[in-house]
Amino acid sequence: MDLTTCSCRNRQCDRYGLTGGQARLVHAGWRHGALRLECVDCRHRFSARVGTAYAGLRSPELIFQDGVRQLAEGASIRATARNIGCDKDTVAQWLPRVGRHCQRLLDYCLRDLHLTECQLDELWTFVYKKEKHLTAFEKMLGRYGGSSLPGHRGELEGATAAVLAVENAYYGDVFEFAAAYAVYIVLGHVFGAGNKRTGSAAALVFLHLNGVDVDRRPAELLDRMLELQKRAEATPPPSASDLVSWFAGWLGGR
């Protein structure tokens, strides 16, 4: 960290806002892994992280940096959390933190620019493919959001594993079979995005092919799939058979 940019944070101090040799700062120990500084004039102490994206951070810096890099490359919050071994809620809090800091940095650095030319390579992000050439999955990502990265095992392998898990188990009726498809797709994170949508669609299509049409409003199905995800992430997590029984009961109106 470049300490020459640090300044006293005490607004009542004569050296408030002064940096470099004018700041007169000395080291004052460590706290939560962050260096603390002290102003020689007013004795005000503060973290060297103040004004940076690390301010107030409790996670190790290296893990935070790794997570932010993955998010910047387009990884989803859940995938990033699994890769770095952090809770997904912790990773979710990093996004607005980093976003606000980037905005402040750009506002500070990119001012009074007098440009005669501007390179527009970044527009490629928005026009790289015509709408008529989008796949069904890409259209769904554009409408509902999500990640285009593959799931845990890759999409084909993950989908095959979900089907085999259902086929190798015993279920009492079509509702349990349908529920199993939804549960194993959601639990296995088969796809990078849309697992709850795909799981619910697989369950309904399976029932339809077996002569059963379930009369459920889309809002009800959405609430049920969100509840399924919430139950699957509980501590301790329930077994897959418990989730199948619970979801099958709702599908069958039991």
| Residue ranges of domains in the chain | 3-47, 61-107, 155-251
pLDDT tens for residues 165-199? 666 666 778 888 888 888 888 877 767 677 888 88
Cis before 237 (ω within 30)? no
Pick the CATH number of 155-251 from 1.20.120.1870, 3.40.50.720, 3.40.30.160, 1.10.472.50: 1.20.120.1870
pTM for the predicted model, two decimal places: 0.41
pLDDT of residue 182: 86
- Listed in sequence order, the residues at least 6 apart from 150 whose beta carbon sits closer than 8 Å to its beta carbon are 158, 191, 192
Element containing residue 185 per DSSP (H, E): helix 174-187
Angstrom distance (rounded) from CA 99 to CA 61: 17
d(CA 45, CA 39): 7
pLDDT tens figures, 67-124:
999 988 888 889 899 999 988 888 888 888 888 888 888 888 888 888 888 776 655 5
Classified by CATH at the fold level, domain 61-107 comes out as Arc Repressor Mutant, subunit A (1.10.10)
The span from the CA of 43 to the CA of 10, in Å, is 9
